[in-house]
Amino acid sequence: MKNFDVPIIYRSPLITAIKKKRKEEDKLKKDFTPTLLDMGNLQIYLARHFGFCYGVENAIEIAFHTIEDNPDKRIFLLSEMIHNPQVNADLRDRGVRFMQDTMGQQLISFDELKQDDVVIIPAFGTTLEIEEMLHQKGINTAEYNTTCPFVQRVWNRSEAIAKKDYTIIIHGKPKHEETRATFSHAMQNAPSVVVKDMKEAEELALFIEGKKTVAEFFTRFDGQYSKGFDPTIHLKRIGVVNQTTMLASDTQSIADYLKKVIIQATGSQDSFADTRDTLCYATNDNQTSVSDMLTVNADLAIVVGGYNSSNTSHLVELCEEKFPTYFINNEEKIISNQEILHYNFHNREELTTHHWLPNHAPVKILLTSGASCPDALVEGVIDRLAGFFNAQEAKEKLISFFKD
């Protein structure tokens, strides 16, 4: 796989050494057991796979090279490059201006754009409507398009099954940038509808089975279906694709469920298209790594990443099933060994927990991060924890250990 030129500020000597050693020992990526960082009274179990994925590193490389190559031009991003506050802040500090927020609300009017401006398409991709608008303004987007290749693979798969007269069901968060982009690309080729979760899939099934009316469909899925969608016609042959950062197990469960429903309703095996190949490898690897990490008899889990990061929130969701879990976006949220400021993504609020570290030895902590989180932040968390246990020297020795 390609090596990307990512700024050194996002790298970590310890994490780089660990990942290199694990890769050398497990070239086929079949071992998902966590890596033990034994620092005496502090034992950290680091997920096998975590942090920057291929798509994120590709996007960061393009963005920073774009800044270097265009010192005299105005540079805009359609929205956040990735869902990580540090990376986006670094881009802003270098003069990049963000045109929309993550929900698609306009921050800078497209009317301000000029033909010689540089506009970067983020890793999530963008809608065909926005791409066409930029082309009409004479703005070249191809050179500065950082859309993740695995997102594009979902679009290509959607197009392929659309040509066989399948309707596209998209498992994703309707307002998420990637889902909006995928919906735009999908509905160019076929009738399309977005379902957020299994509950919505079960509600969609009622229309597949003809148990609810067209009027009820338009009300229930308002804003989530393509123009001209007719549930009496377009729910006879379907295929399921996903927002790549959703829980892979959830997407598969939804696909399996809808497959069973539509085959029973139509009596035809051909009424459902197989789209398993649209699941993102990085999402799968990170989630499988967390599942293996959860077999450890630990005290708690820490997940590092942007609070608006979908893939990170799903890692938190997995950890919460078994352990007290603290979702933080940098080491500064760990105020002390008695106090931590962390994010409840269910209620979308930060809260403070006291006496969060257990008073026994050794303390066993599970640690992972989202696909848009720099390794440097993960090492920062390890440094902060090591300080509470006077384990700084032991932590430094780990770098030599994993390099050997």
Catalytically active residues are: 178
Helix, strand, coil distribution of the chain in percent, nearest 5: 45, 15, 40
Q: How many other CB atoms sit within 10 Å of the CB of residue 143? A: 10
Q: Contact, 104 vs 180, CB < 8 A?
A: yes
Going by the DSSP 8-state scheme, the letter that residue 190 receives in this structure is: S
Residues 192, 151: Cα–Cα separation, whole Å: 17
Sorted by sequence, the CB contacts under 8 Å of residue 268 that are 6+ apart come out as none
- Of 341, 337, 339, 311, nearest in space to 327 by CA: 341
Sorted by sequence, the CB contacts under 8 Å of residue 4 that are 6+ apart come out as 57, 58, 60, 61
Tell me which residue has tokens 């008695």: 338
Residues 221, 321: Cα–Cα separation, whole Å: 30
Q: Contact, 82 vs 56, CB < 8 A?
A: yes
Going by the DSSP 8-state scheme, the letter that residue 145 receives in this structure is: B
Q: How many other CB atoms sit within 10 Å of the CB of residue 239? A: 26
